[in-house]
Amino acid sequence: MKLNKEIIQEFFRYGLVGLFLNAAMYFFYLILTSFYISPLSTVLLLYPLGILVGFYVHRGLTFNSSSQKWRFFVLTKFVFLHLIGFFLNLLLLYVFFKRLGYPHQLVQLASIFIIAVFLFISIKLFVFPVRQNKQL
């Protein structure tokens, strides 16, 4: 992946979409955990919703892929990468909240940024590798 103006613009769009989507999910995370739902259970509930919404928004706005052909295959790769991100999220919560005692709110907030960078690079390389991917 060669860093160029297009990738920087995609990363900027990815960041803006991610900012709004993650802000909404974090808001719901705080609400649900305030009702004594465990942080891990809350992530289990919210993460799949974020994946689905994120796929459609990033596909169209971030990576400009509008084709219907092979959409299931592209969605499958997108979901697989997010599952890795999901388990990374659970691992970070487990280690830093459960084991080391850091506040779960801060651990989750830091996790959002760590996982976002991992996902952008992974999605750019494996899901939407070129902007002119009309055939996908």
Report the chain's terminal Cα–Cα distance, integer Å: 19
Q: For residue 136, is it within any domain? A: no
Cβ(120)–Cβ(134) under 8 Å? Answer: no
Q: For residue 134, is it within any domain? A: no
Q: For residue 56, is it within any domain? A: yes
Question: In total, how many domains does the chain have?
Answer: 1
Amino acid at 32: L
Closest CA to 11 of 71, 58, 75, 74: 58
Q: Note the pLDDT of residue 110.
A: 94
Q: Note the pLDDT of residue 67.
A: 60
Q: 96 is in which domain, residue-wise?
A: 5-126
- Rounded CA separation 14/52 (Å): 15
Task: Write out 62-87 in H/E/C secondary structure.
Answer: HCCCCCCCCHHHHHHHHHHHHHHHHH
Q: For residue 133, is it within any domain? A: no
Between the alpha carbon of residue 82 and those of residues 66, 78, 86, 88, the distances in Å are: 20, 6, 6, 9
Q: Note the pLDDT of residue 130.
A: 67
Amino acid at 70: W
Report residues of the chain scoring pLDDT below 50.
132-136
Q: For residue 135, is it within any domain? A: no
**How many CA atoms are closer than 13 Å to the CA of 38, on its beta-carbon side?**
8
